[in-house]
């Protein structure tokens, strides 16, 4: 795990990294820290709901005994942890902040730009800082029609080579979930549903119609898996899928109808690549009259609660191992 500590100390003093003193102290002392992405702030929700949700998520992480580390790039510097005023700045910036995946990181830093980190780039930067647990809404995956477009998210290949545990509500419903699970298997990524059912969730709804390869009951079991993954030095990520609570889930039929309509509109307007997901999420929210946005906010908060519990349990194991 924790081969990352030496690397962290080097990054902490780098002029390209701004890590808050609270997070520096927590990582150095192996306390629980939860990484949070920033694309959900700039591209996933409108202002002010994006900032309000980000603040609420950070509060939830703290209430469970962990420290939130929202990650973004601002004026050419990687920020690990965002103060309230910086979070507000990013939220107002919206899509002016470049959606930044692995391929974009060096370019954004070199141009001293501002970027919102995706699942892939957040994993990279979290690993560099020594943070093994990351909470997001949903991961990217294989886009519908990928057999023609070859549009497959970099999140999947990143999960195959970066040992960070990603706690999410599954794959975004706009994607081809069955093919996404197949690619994750090819990449050697452990995929586990946390809860009573082994069904893999579908972001806005708790059941995608497909099973996860495995199921566990709680955060303690998740921490055991993460710890074992690092002890074996597998150097691959893990997906822990947390179904949205049924009472907060969107209506399955309404969501599917909205997705089909939004995808058809995106194709008709030539919207693809990195612009497609933000367009689809916004259009689906409009078509469902805000129901999808409400579900999105609810699932992110739920993921944060579970992710923080996992980080706390993992920290206990690391500290116990150091004493033995």
Q: Region 292-309: what's the mean pLDDT?
A: 96
3-state secondary structure of 300: helix
For the cut 90, the answer to whether the pLDDT of residue 147 exceeds it is no
pLDDT in tens, 221-238: 999 999 999 999 999 999
Report the alpha-carbon distance of residue 298 to residue 52 in Å, rounded: 12
**pLDDT value of residue 13:** 60
Q: Could you give the 3-state DSSP secondary structure of residue 222?
A: helix
How much is the pLDDT for 275?
83
Domain count, the chain: 1
pLDDT band at 274 (very low <50, low <70, confident <90, very high): confident
User: What is the SS3 assignment for 109?
Assistant: helix
| C-alpha count within 13 angstroms, C-beta hemisphere, residue 270 | 0
DSSP state, residue 135: E
Q: State the pLDDT at residue 273.
A: 79
Output DSSP code: residue 157: H
- Write the CB contacts of 178 (distance below 8 Å, at least 6 apart in sequence): 210
Q: Check residue 4 and give its pLDDT.
A: 53
Neighbours of 48 (CB within 10 A): 11
Residue 273, CB half-sphere, CA atoms under 13 Å: how many? 4
Share of the chain above pLDDT 90, in %: 82
Average pLDDT of span 10-28: 85
193 close to 162: Cβ distance less than 8 angstroms: no
DSSP structure string for 174-206: TB-HHHHHHHHHHTT-EEEEESS--EEEETTEE
- Percent of the chain at pLDDT above 70? 96
- Asked if the model's pLDDT at residue 12 lies above 80, the reply is no
Known catalytic residues are: 37, 172
Residues facing 215 on adjacent strands: 193
3-state helix, strand, coil in the chain (%, to 5): 50, 20, 30
Cα 7 to Cα 2: distance, rounded to the nearest angstrom? 10
Mean of the pLDDT values across residues 289-299? 93
Give residue-wise pLDDT tens across range 176-203: 999 999 999 999 999 999 999 999 999 9
Assign 103 a pLDDT band (cuts: 50, 70, 90).
very high
Cis amide bond preceding 48, omega within 30: yes
For 117, the 3-state DSSP assignment is strand
Residue 43 reports pLDDT greater than 90 = no
CA-to-CA distance for 3 and 309, rounded, in angstroms? 23
Q: Map 233-279 to HEC letters.
A: CCCCCEEEECCCCHHHCCCHHHHHHHHHHHHHHHHHCCCCHHHHHHH
What CATH number corresponds to the domain at position 146?
A: 3.40.1790.10
CA angle 239, 213, 305 (to 5 degrees): 35
- The answer to whether residue 9 scores a pLDDT higher than 60 is no
Residue listed under structure tokens 């609810």: 298
| CA–CA dist 141, 171 (Å, integer) | 7
pLDDT of residue 94: 87
Range of the domain at 280: 4-323
| Angle, helix 291-323 to helix 219-231, in steps of 10 degrees | 60
pLDDT, averaged across the chain: 92
What pLDDT, on the 0 to 100 scale, is given for residue 5? 47
Q: Which among 162, 159, 140 is positioned nearest to 151, based on CA atoms?
A: 140
**Nearest-5° Cα angle at 209, 205 to 212:** 95
**Residue 307 Cα distances to 4, 58, 91, 312, angstroms:** 20, 11, 23, 9
**Range 51-69 average pLDDT:** 97
Structure tokens at 246: 């049924």
Q: According to the model, what pLDDT value does residue 232 have?
A: 95
The per-residue pLDDT for 7 is 58
Does pLDDT of 284 surpass 60?
yes
For residue 250, which of 180, 192, 201 has the smallest C-alpha distance?
201
For the entire predicted model, the pTM comes to: 0.93
Mean pLDDT on 292-306: 95
The residue whose two tokens read 């708790």 is 206
Question: In the structure, what pLDDT confidence band is assigned to residue 148 with cuts at 50, 70 and 90?
Answer: confident
């Amino acid at each position: 795990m924790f081969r990352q500590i030496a690397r962290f100390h080097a990054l902490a003093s780098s002029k390209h990294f701004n890590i808050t003193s609270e997070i520096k102290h927590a990582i150095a002392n192996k306390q629980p820290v939860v990484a949070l992405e920033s694309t959900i702030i700039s591209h996933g929700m409108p202002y002010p709901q994006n900032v309000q949700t980000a603040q609420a998520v950070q509060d939830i992480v703290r209430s469970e005994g962990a420290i939130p580390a929202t990650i973004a790039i601002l004026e050419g510097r990687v920020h690990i942890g965002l103060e309230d005023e910086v979070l507000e700045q990013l939220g107002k910036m919206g899509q002016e902040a470049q959606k930044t995946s692995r391929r974009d990181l060096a370019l954004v830093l070199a141009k001293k730009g501002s970027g919102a980190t995706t699942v892939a780039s957040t994993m990279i930067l979290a690993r560099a800082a020594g943070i093994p647990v990351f909470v997001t809404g949903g991961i990217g995956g294989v886009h519908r029609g990928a057999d023609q477009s070859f549009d497959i998210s970099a999140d999947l290949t990143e999960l195959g080579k970066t040992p960070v545990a990603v706690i999410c509500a599954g794959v975004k419903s706009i994607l081809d979930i069955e093919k996404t699970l197949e690619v994750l298997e090819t990449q050697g990524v452990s995929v586990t549903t946390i809860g009573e059912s082994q069904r893999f969730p579908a972001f806005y709804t708790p059941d995608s119609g497909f099973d996860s390869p495995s199921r566990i009951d709680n955060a303690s079991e998740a921490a055991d898996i993460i710890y074992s993954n690092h002890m074996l030095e597998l150097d691959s990520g893990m997906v822990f899928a947390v179904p949205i609570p049924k009472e907060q889930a969107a209506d399955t039929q309404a969501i599917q109808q909205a997705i089909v309509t939004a995808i058809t509109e995106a194709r008709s307007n030539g919207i693809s690549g990195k612009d497609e997901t933000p367009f689809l999420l916004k259009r689906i929210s409009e078509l469902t009259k805000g129901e999808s946005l409400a579900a999105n906010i609810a699932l992110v908060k739920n993921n944060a609660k579970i992710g923080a519990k996992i980080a706390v349990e993992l920290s206990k194991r690391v500290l116990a191992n150091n004493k033995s």
